[in-house]
Amino acid sequence: MVGRHVIQAVFCLLIIFIVQGTSYPVECDNLLDSRVIQREFIVYSGESSHIDKNSSKSEPDQDTVIIARNPLNRIIYSVLVYCIPVLCGVLSYKLSKYFMQLSKSFGVDFHKKEKVKLPESIGLASAISFVFGIFLFSLFFPNHKESLLIFSNTVILNTLLGYVDDTVELSWSCKFLFPALSILPLFITYTGSTYMCIPLYGIVNLGWLLYVFLFALGVYFTNAINILSGINGVECGQVLVLSGMISLDRCLFSDEKSLLSGLMGFSLFMSSFGLFLWNKYPARCFVGDVFCYFSGSSLLCIGLFGGFIKTLFLFLFPQLFNFVFSMPQLMKIIPCPRHRMPSVIYTESSDALIVPSVVSLESKFLKSRIVYGVIKLYRILGLISYTEGNGRVEVSNFTILNAILVRTGPIHEETLFKIYCTMQFIVCALVILAKCYFYSYSWGS
């Protein structure tokens, strides 16, 4: 049922992109401007012409003009571009199946009664297909080739970091430190403006603080997906919602980079969807940390390239809430186990139900004002469970999935997945509606 709705959404987005692209094939606002035509289009004869952007005397060759002015050629060119995301999805699905057959690393699905071993780190297939898509886009968008290749370096470095984490199990401190190294290509090559437009305030020059901001975003985005995991399909599910809403946002609020950034978001959607078909409940593979790091860094690169990082940051509000909610455990104020995924119980009918996982600590720890204050605050907000006895205290782990389970009680794993993805979708939809209202208010004024 979920897969059918996702496929319908894919076709809707593809139709929107194709309709938009036949009017603006490759970011061109004026297709009859010879300078724009020759600068943006690849000549099908196999040779690309290079002219001075500021030169009004240079004329495009005949092949280029035919491509720009002939409606049939424009449609063919657009269809070729929009086939790249579909190719990413097919490649992701096929590579996932291939890696599952070759994998020698297996993990146990603790939420199933049979405790079946499943191949791990299959998210590598999704990462390879997405990077392959970026390389193809660099051929169709030569003006952005340098930016695309820099972003691909960042994605590849984070993919490598995720694969290392799956292999040697890095500590949480390393997970915060190493992402800073992966975004060095962005730091070194960034030559853009340091000004930022803040709604209802104006334009602010951040200066060197922009690089601090980029560093914080790099660490946050890389770990946001990884921290919110633990049940079948939830890692892919949240990326599907985010990348799908990115594509929709770029269609609604278009600018000079909206087409390419929207296509990159759609490619991430398709790459994740090919993997999701294997990872959805009941999962036949685990995506691993490699998918979490790759997808988080990909979202960051798409947001930076398209210039809608504030919108993307709001899209990730559930991840931000989960990140802030988890900080007491990540900072070791409260004991933090290696895996904080929900636990499972079995009913008389042998159905597996998901319940909050707990961490145990001695009652003497409550004498600390910080520990006592944190637990008391979360109990008042109804975010954690709390039991006390025999000189020990048990509290549920500080994750949004466990918080949902505290509110709902024991539920099926697939139900928990649907609840969270619905929450993610509602948040993204509210952000887009708020942008529509803000833009309409600004235009009205």
User: pLDDT for 348-367, tens place per residue?
Assistant: 766 789 999 999 888 777 77
State mean pLDDT over 407-427: 94
Bridge partners of residue 344, in order along the sequence: 354
Find the mean pLDDT for residues 212-223: 83
Q: Give me Rg for the CA atoms of the chain.
A: 24
The pLDDT of 376-381, averaged and rounded, is: 92
Q: Quick one: tokens of 397?
A: 């782990």
pLDDT band at 24 (very low <50, low <70, confident <90, very high): very low
Residue 180 near residue 217, CB atoms below 8 Å: no
What is the pLDDT at residue 46?
36
CA 188 to chain centre: 23
Q: Report the pLDDT value the prediction gives residue 12, as an integer from 0 to 100.
A: 54
The helix/strand/coil state of 267 is helix
For the ranges 18-22, 92-96, 282-286, the lowest mean pLDDT is seen at 18-22
143-147, 266-270, 336-340, 350-354 — which one is most confidently predicted on average? 266-270
pLDDT band (50, 70, 90) for residue 44: very low
To which residue do tokens 């993204």 refer? 428
> For residues 282 and 109, what is the distance between their CA atoms, to the nearest angstrom?
10
pLDDT at res. 40: 40
Residue 46 has what DSSP assignment?
S
CA–CA gap between residue 155 and residue 73 (Å, rounded): 33
Residue 333 has pLDDT above 50, yes or no: yes
> Rounded mean pLDDT of 196-209?
75
Q: How far apart are CA 298 and CA 301, in angstroms?
A: 5
Residue 198 confidence (pLDDT) above 50 = yes
- Mean per-residue pLDDT of the chain: 80
| pLDDT for position 199 | 66
Nearby residues of 2 by Cβ (< 8 Å), 6 or more positions away = 280, 418
Please, which pLDDT band fits residue 340 given cuts at 50, 70 and 90? confident
Contact present, 25 and 78 (Cβ < 8 Å) = yes
Question: Which tens digit of pLDDT belongs to each residue from 138-163?
Answer: 988 888 888 898 889 889 989 998 88
Q: Look at residue 150 in the predicted model and tell me its pLDDT.
A: 87
Dihedral angle computed from the Cα positions of residues 371, 377, 383 and 388, in that order, rounded to the nearest 10 degrees: 50
* CA atoms of 234 and 422, how far apart (whole Å): 11
Residue type at 291? F
In whole angstroms, give the CA distance from residue 372 to residue 56.
Answer: 71
Tell me what pLDDT residue 7 has. 52
Q: Which residues contact 121 (CB under 8 A, 6 or more apart)?
A: 99, 103, 105, 162, 163, 166, 286, 287, 288, 289, 290
Higher pLDDT, 56 or 414: 414
CA distance 327 to 225: 15
**176 vs 267: which has the higher pLDDT:** 267
Going by DSSP bridges, is the β-strand pair 117-119/106-108 parallel, antiparallel, or unpaired? antiparallel
Higher-pLDDT residue of 415, 62 = 415
d(CA 288, CA 126) in angstroms, rounded, equals 11
pLDDT value at residue 17: 47
Eight-state DSSP code of residue 230: -
The most confident of 27-31, 210-214, 248-252, by mean pLDDT: 248-252
Provide the pLDDT confidence category of residue 445 given band limits of 50, 70 and 90. Answer: low
Q: Which of 52-56, 93-97, 164-168 has the highest mean pLDDT?
A: 93-97
**118 to 129, 285, 443: CA distances (angstroms):** 22, 5, 53
What average pLDDT does the segment 198-208 reach?
A: 75
Asked if pLDDT for residue 277 goes beyond 60, the answer is yes
What pLDDT sits at residue 392? Answer: 85
Mean pLDDT of all residues in 429-437: 92
Q: Which of 64-68, 222-226, 331-335, 346-350 is the least confident region? A: 64-68
* Top-confidence residue, 205 or 101: 101
Residue 440 confidence (pLDDT): 77
Question: Side-chain half-sphere of 419: how many Cα atoms within 13 Å?
Answer: 17
Kindly give, in sequence order, each residue whose CB lies less than 8 Å from that of residue 260, ignoring residues fewer than 6 positions away.
27, 137, 141, 144, 305, 306
pLDDT of amino acid 22: 39
Q: How many CB atoms lie within 10 A of CB 409?
A: 10
203-216: average pLDDT? 80
Lowest model confidence (mean pLDDT) among 154-163, 164-173, 424-433: 164-173
Q: How confident is the model at residue 276 (pLDDT cuts 50, 70, 90)?
A: very high
In angstroms, rounded to a whole number, what is the distance separating the alpha carbons of residues 290 and 196? 32
**Residue from 60, 85, 62, 70 nearest 25 by CA:** 70
What contacts 130, CB < 8 A, 6 or more positions away?
Answer: 88, 92, 155, 267, 268, 271, 294, 298
Looking at residues 214-231, what average pLDDT do you find?
Answer: 85
pLDDT reported for residue 1:
53
